[in-house]
Amino acid sequence: MIYLDHAATTPIPRAVADAMYEVLAERFGNPSSQYPLGADMKRAVEQWRRTVAQALGCDAGRLYFTSCGTEADAWAVTAACWQNRHLGKHIVTTAVEHSAVLESCRWMEKQGYEVTYVAPGSDGVITAEDILSAVRPDTALVSCMLVNNELGCLYPIEEIARGLAARNPKTLLHTDAVQGFLKVPFAANTLGADFISISGHKIGGPKGIGALYIGQRVKNPRPLLPGGGQEGGLRSGTEATAQMAGFAKAVELRTERLDEILDHMAALRAHAAEVLGAIPDLKILGGGPAAPHILSVSLEGWPSQNIVTDLGSQGICISAGSACHRGKPSHVVAALKLPKKVSGGVIRLSFGPETTFDDIDRCAEALRRHHDTRMPIL
């Protein structure tokens, strides 16, 4: 199998699975229990928190574990609006956010909020001024992702933060960094965002674990889940200790050789752009600064779902940049306002530490065969 869909999820290294198994089978205590088995788990949870926080570049006391990136996104949106409920009921976000942010904003619209959805250019680029020009005196929240999950475009969060500080310092800033964490260099303490969402299964960790950074400007954040007082009283519920152990181990493994991994993925992306760009009718999508692990392309005229199915039958895993329902493009692709033949043929390749140059070459060969042997129908 050739796996080129690391932006969707990542394989778990054996060391991560072993760390999780140890907690499941041997160190299974409840961190809230008072006897030694529970106390051991409580210390372990805080060590895992420190491990992830150090990689994120923040104090451990600012990091709260969640069940996933989606939960972290939803919590950030609602907590920011609660914090600024007396400032106003206006939110600025982008038209190309992950659905976790977009659906949370749509839910806030039902609560009486007005949302401005900033559209990208046809290359997927969104500038800081695009965002800042939509900010008003009553803007409670700006939510802009760090890396677009379909296009790989990198968005200027630090510049947006500086602009907000000058234009409307009370407005809070959230960034969905699920595709950026340990993929592009940044540190929570200097990025300027008040909320940062991350997820474990995008970096070799297990599914079912994420985290939310909450900055010091957020005073008395609204709890996501009231109850027994876990996660500083903000997200109650017995801790998912095995998932936390796996998340922390995945962070350790990646940070041990992060520069090497990022250089490898950047080289893979450059090689993929070169060999895929030689295929007739194939267009490279996305402009501006980009993350090293995502490349979005379009085989103009060939439906993306047909491409994904054809390559899947050959053991090559890629994803469709176009949604698979009723022939409509994804909301990200739709926002680019591309010609139908281009938008209908969008596919995404995404890479990880395990990806090889041979994987890229074999995928390119399969795409060329698909172009040469299938009739375009868009």
Contact 62, 215 (CB under 8 A): yes
d(CA 42, CA 29): 9
- Residue 339's nearest CA partner among 302, 300, 296, 371 is 300
| Selected catalytic residue, list 58, 105, 153, 324 | 324
d(CA 307, CA 373): 12
d(CA 156, CA 162): 10
H/E/C letters for each residue in 197-236? Answer: EEECCCCCCCCCCEEEEECCCCCCCCCCECCCCCHHHCEC
Question: What is the CA angle 63-66-69, rounded to 5?
Answer: 100
Hey, which residues does 196 pair with through a beta bridge?
A: 175, 213
DSSP E strands in the chain: the ranges are 2-3, 63-66, 90-94, 114-118, 139-143, 172-176, 195-199, 210-214, 282-284, 294-299, 316-317, 319-320, 346-350
Classify 370 as helix, strand or coil.
Answer: helix
Hey, which residues does 303 pair with through a beta bridge?
A: none
Contact 49, 63 (CB under 8 A): yes
**Assigned token pair, 40:** 């051991």
d(CA 117, CA 178): 20
**How many CA atoms does the CB half-sphere of 67 hold within 13 Å?**
10
Hey, which residues does 296 pair with through a beta bridge?
A: 348
363 carries an active-site annotation: no
d(CA 296, CA 127): 20
Active-site residues: which are they? 324
